[in-house]
Structure 1
Amino acid sequence: MTEAVLIDMFSTENNGRKHSIEPLLRRAMTIVGEQCAVEDLSVYIMYCQTFGCDTNDARDSFLHALRCFQGLKRRIELVSNASVAATLYTIKQKLDQKNASVVKIILPLQRKAAMQVYVNSLFTEVYTIGFEILSMDSGDNNLQPSVGQHCESDSLTGQQLDLIKSDIHMHLGSLRANGEFTILKSSLIPDTTFIHGFSTRTGGISYLPNLESLNLFSSPKRKDPEAVVAENVRRLAKAVGFNPERFHLLKAAHGNDVWIMGKTEPDSYDGIVANQKGVTIAAPGADCIPLLFSDPVKKAYGAAHSGWKGTLLGVAMATVNAMVSEFGCSKKDVLIALGPSIGPCCFTLSQEEAIAFHTIDPKCVQRFESPTPSIDLRKATRILLERGGIPGENIQDHLTLCTSCHPDLFFSHHRDGPNFGTQIGFISVRN
């Protein structure tokens, strides 16, 4: 596992002053030399680029101090910017290029609380990050480990937290998007009444190969943090015209539970229905089917996430039934669009698991005699919807290109593995 050390020298009172930098850096590099035995360890030093000190003088001071540590044979890189968020995010990109997920941050005590907020916002649980306190007293060589410790004097005010959040938001908002937005829309759902569409993978700021660029889902088990996903959502919202502050992505669990917006939100659910203007709901999909439901008569709408388990459990009809029972919708008025998902060309199950789809209709299974038959989730979904009372002409599934077959357009768990990105289907009623 690749490891790295980050030395936080961002405090403004130390930048550009050799007499302050050198003793602090000496003690920081002592930690690196004595406690970090990894031969190819990467060391990053972050410092402020502006705030009243001359950039060249500050850099020269650091370089002068670093000459003392050339014998450590470490790869040491200075990373500077006027913004902590910009500096730390640049370092994160360097860590990801080297696949470094174990990071020790050496920093003064008064910086720990702020740095913890930055780390929580820009990293996920995929990374193992520890903190080590760097004494600010040049005559004190006692280095105090602080991993997991909480210091009351190290807390932040509400104003400080707001400044950190603003710093992160401003930096991520300044990043250049990778590609243009390509939104797939259904010709069934009336554009005059509903804002809707299915996202593809371009137009966002995510940079990791399997997440690039418009990843719209964050998980502790993946490398894209919530702050980056929130910026991707904000950009999508601006492009298509919905309010990102009133955006709800359902909490998929591969079941058939449906949340009626306005009632108590459950911990997990695979369908969501609403009739509120200005509220955008969305379903994720990275092989599973994102479905969008609309009733132009009642101005009600819904979204559902349907993987193979959810398909068998009937999540699509459960979402329709919730619209009927809660908003008085008629099945003949409900229009349904199936978004991009994995096709039978790429999706297989064991023969035992495939029996349930064969029972729905033999056409849902290809090569049934094979140990791993191919499954057509879209055909199964359409059949179940029509049996539930939805007219066939009210179902549109020709948008459903295979996500696994089109890496230029879509994310795919099947194709990309566990650190995969996610597209969504989204819908709201126009104000």
Structure 2
Amino acid sequence: MCQAVLLDLVHGCCPRCAGLSLRGGSASDRRVFLLRAKTDPSGACASPYRGAHALDGDSTAERLYRMKRTLDDLDLSSVRVVTSARGREALLWYQRLLFTAVYRFEYRVTSTPGCPSCCGSAHTGPTPETIQEEVSAFVQRLPALMGDVKIRKSTMIPDVFGHGFSSRAGGVSYIPTLSSLNLFCSQTRRDPPAVVTENRRRLALHAGFPPQSLHLVKVAHASDIWVMGTEEPRSYDAVLTNQRGVVLAAPGADCMPILFADPVSEVIGAAHAGWKGTLKGVAMATVDAMVREFGCHVRDIMVAVGPSVGSCCFTLEQEHALDFSRIHPDCVPDPESPRPHVNIRLANRLLLQRGGVNPEHIHDDANPERPLVTPCTSCHPDHYFSHVRDGPNFGTQVGFVWIREGRDGTHWGTGEDVSH
């Protein structure tokens, strides 16, 4: 396995302490990164390591972020870190914020007697709080990619609710399949918590709600519903509330983010519906919970289905496609195909209608009288993330909704309605 090396030693980098065997005085074949202190003379660290990456920047966060970009360019994920005991303690905090479990760090704490390289690290005295502040300040300075944040809205949701569906523009994620407004952090992907948090902050500021109020469902690909105010389960695919001051959100990258709003009872919900959740009835389970927990009437509930994969691009094995044919034959336009196409949007619409939801209160691609709110994510790479199209290191957009008037009488902004 090809491994990078990060040298975090303040008084120069001793090959013997670092455990490196350099031939011809070059470290370029070992992918060595030099994390130098500002007080270190520019040549002190670099002289034994011609060809190494000297990490420059105004902060440790910036230097480590530069290293991460190089690792991604080289498709590397394993890093051996040579540092002091204090340096390791600080670097572990940076690691939690700027990397995910995709990157494997092995720490070597130097302790060679009499060696000045073992006396400290390139960053001294940071606390978890100051590291968090430093990282946050750094990512907030990163330039937005792919233009400004764009939000698609449903014309069905009344103005008493704020809501929207995000696209991929306006964030700071740089990896192509995650660029740029990826809103979900996974330990199996390369977008770190600090970057995703910054993307969520930019979405919130654009949409007009406080970033800390955003609450994302914890996806399980099932039909479990959490009513906010009760004990939160470890996983669920929909959340409901009548509380003000909170923004409910559901992720989607081919799977459907579905928003629910009852303007009479002032109750909102957000659900994640992939093909498994669709078959398990998560959309109608959300409606039933609104009726059961808040006394809503089905006739009052509005449903908006966000960007998701269309039947043009989504296929399943025949055994699973057959389950959708049982909902309605039109859900599987080519049932004889070895891998049939499946219309999960139509399946959700039909299940909602059978549960009593007014067909005219469902905003999706089958509602021709309203502007399109449900484009195919796979067909629009410039606007949306897609697992089907991009593979396992994919980005995520969200649908979000809140009750607009706060308890203190303040009025959150309306955001910007942008159609592609």
- CA distance in structure 1 between the partners assigned to 2:95 and 2:151 by the alignment: 32
Cα gap change, 1:32 to 1:162, in 2 (>3 Å): farther
C-alpha deviation, 1:32, in angstroms: 5.3
180-189 or 347-356: which moved more?
347-356
Find the partner of 2:43 among 60, 79, 82.
60
C-alpha deviation, 1:135, in angstroms: 3.0
> Are the counterparts in 2 of residues 412 and 421 from structure 1 also a CA contact under 8 Å?
yes
* Residues 69-84 of structure 1: pairs in structure 2 closer than 5 A: 69-70=49-50, 75-84=51-60
> Are the counterparts in 2 of residues 27 and 141 from structure 1 also a CA contact under 8 Å?
no
2:313 matches 1:324: no
2:35 matches 1:46: yes
2:253 matches 1:279: no
C-alpha deviation, 1:326, in angstroms: 1.1
Query: 2:307 — aligned with what?
Result: 340
C-alpha deviation, 1:91, in angstroms: 0.8
* Residues 264-413 of structure 1: pairs in structure 2 closer than 5 A: 264-398=231-365, 399-413=373-387
* Residues 103-142 of structure 1: pairs in structure 2 closer than 5 A: 103-135=79-111, 137-139=113-115
Query: 2:397 — aligned with what?
Result: 423
> Are the counterparts in 2 of residues 7 and 28 from structure 1 also a CA contact under 8 Å?
no
1:231-250 deviations in Å (ceiling 9; x for gaps): 11111101111122121100
- CA distance in structure 1 between the partners assigned to 2:58 and 2:49 by the alignment: 26
- CA distance in structure 2 between the partners assigned to 1:247 and 1:28 by the alignment: 47
C-alpha deviation, 1:279, in angstroms: 0.1
The letter of the residue matching 1:189 is I
Find the partner of 1:181 among 131, 149, 170.
149
- CA distance in structure 2 between the partners assigned to 1:334 and 1:340 by the alignment: 20
1:296-344 deviations in Å (ceiling 9; x for gaps): 1111100000011111111001001111111111111110000011111
Cα gap change, 1:91 to 1:391, in 2 (>3 Å): same
> Are the counterparts in 2 of residues 364 and 375 from structure 1 also a CA contact under 8 Å?
yes
- CA distance in structure 2 between the partners assigned to 1:375 and 1:269 by the alignment: 24
Gaps of 5+ in 2: 366-372, 406-420
Query: 1:148 — aligned with what?
Result: none
> Are the counterparts in 1 of residues 84 and 118 from structure 2 also a CA contact under 8 Å?
no
Considering only aligned residues, what root-mean-square deviation do their CA atoms show, in Å? 2.2
- CA distance in structure 2 between the partners assigned to 1:311 and 1:417 by the alignment: 22
C-alpha deviation, 1:372, in angstroms: 1.2
Gaps of 5+ in 1: 15-19, 144-155
C-alpha deviation, 1:29, in angstroms: 5.0
> Are the counterparts in 2 of residues 5 and 32 from structure 1 also a CA contact under 8 Å?
no
Number of aligned residues:
391
The letter of the residue matching 2:37 is C
1:341-383 deviations in Å (ceiling 9; x for gaps): 1111111112221111111111111111112111001111111
C-alpha deviation, 1:261, in angstroms: 0.5
C-alpha deviation, 1:139, in angstroms: 4.3
1:57-80 deviations in Å (ceiling 9; x for gaps): 8213334xx1x455xxxx302112
The letter of the residue matching 1:194 is F
Larger relative contact order (Cα-Cα within 8 Å, sequence gap ≥ 6): 2
* Residues 145-156 of structure 1: pairs in structure 2 closer than 5 A: none
Query: 2:369 — aligned with what?
Result: none
1:142-178 deviations in Å (ceiling 9; x for gaps): 99xxxxxxxxxxxx99x81110110111111111111
Find the partner of 2:181 among 210, 214, 226.
214
> Are the counterparts in 1 of residues 3 and 78 from structure 2 also a CA contact under 8 Å?
yes
Cα gap change, 1:332 to 1:139, in 2 (>3 Å): closer
- CA distance in structure 2 between the partners assigned to 1:214 and 1:141 by the alignment: 41
Query: 1:5 — aligned with what?
Result: 5
> Are the counterparts in 1 of residues 17 and 112 from structure 2 also a CA contact under 8 Å?
no
C-alpha deviation, 1:255, in angstroms: 0.3
> Are the counterparts in 2 of residues 337 and 395 from structure 1 also a CA contact under 8 Å?
yes
Three-state SS of the structure 2 residue aligned to 1:40 is helix
- CA distance in structure 1 between the partners assigned to 2:49 and 2:208 by the alignment: 54
Three-state SS of the structure 1 residue aligned to 2:271 is strand
C-alpha deviation, 1:30, in angstroms: 4.4
* Structure with more helix by fraction: 1
2:72 matches 1:89: no
- CA distance in structure 2 between the partners assigned to 1:86 and 1:133 by the alignment: 23
C-alpha deviation, 1:284, in angstroms: 0.6
> Are the counterparts in 2 of residues 218 and 226 from structure 1 also a CA contact under 8 Å?
yes
Q: TM-score, normalised by structure 2?
A: 0.88
> Are the counterparts in 1 of residues 15 and 21 from structure 2 also a CA contact under 8 Å?
no
Three-state SS of the structure 2 residue aligned to 1:78 is strand
> Are the counterparts in 2 of residues 294 and 335 from structure 1 also a CA contact under 8 Å?
yes
